[in-house]
Amino acid sequence: MTLFEASGLTRAYRLPRTSLFGPAGVRHAVHNVDLSLPDGHSLGIVGESGSGKSTLVRLLLGLEHPDAGTVRYRGRQVRPGRPRDLRWLRREVQVVLQDPIGSLNPRMPVGAIVAEPLECLGIDGNDNS
């Protein structure tokens, strides 16, 4: 079974204008990427800073719309949209961020930090099953 399958993934960002009448530049972060990750395998994506690694991961997770291409997880298409429409993916695929401590909100009580992902996934805290 293939976990992730991407085909023709492309994402460009518009850059801020540098002159009043000149055209806005475009940064091609990810261009025409195909990848296949079979169950039980690992895939390392290596590249210099700014080469598009994080953009590729955001596209795989449906956190961004590709300009072109498709992503499938276990054969099901990942379509960015409302968070609730991607719950099926969020239940199985999680990100471990480079700086996880930096992504915690120091003002949030521990209980709220633990409860938030459960609420987002629609897991009822009173359900003992």
Ligand X SMILES: Nc1ncnc2c1ncn2[C@@H]1O[C@H](COP(=O)(O)OP(=O)(O)OP(=O)(O)O)[C@@H](O)[C@H]1O
Which chain residues interact with Mg ion by CB under 5 A? 53-54
Residue placing its CB nearer to Mg ion in the complex, 53 or 90: 53
Residue placing its CB nearer to ligand X in the complex, 46 or 110: 46
What type of residue is 85?
D
CB of 59 to ligand X, least distance (A): 10
* 3-state SS assignment for residue 24: coil
Partner from ligand X, Mg ion, none binding residue 13, C-beta < 5-8 Å depending on class: ligand X
Phi-psi region of 102 (alpha: psi -120 to 50; beta: other; left: phi over 0): alpha
Taking CB atoms, the residue at the shortest distance from Mg ion is 54
Rounded distance, CA 44 to CA 74, Å? 19
Please give the order of strands across the beta sheet that includes 68-73. 26-38, 2-14, 68-73, 76-77
19: DSSP letter: S
102 counts as binding ligand X under rule CB under 6 A: no
x/- binding map, residues 42-81, to ligand X, per CB under 6 A?
-----x-xxxxxxx--------------------------
25 counts as binding ligand X under rule CB under 6 A: no
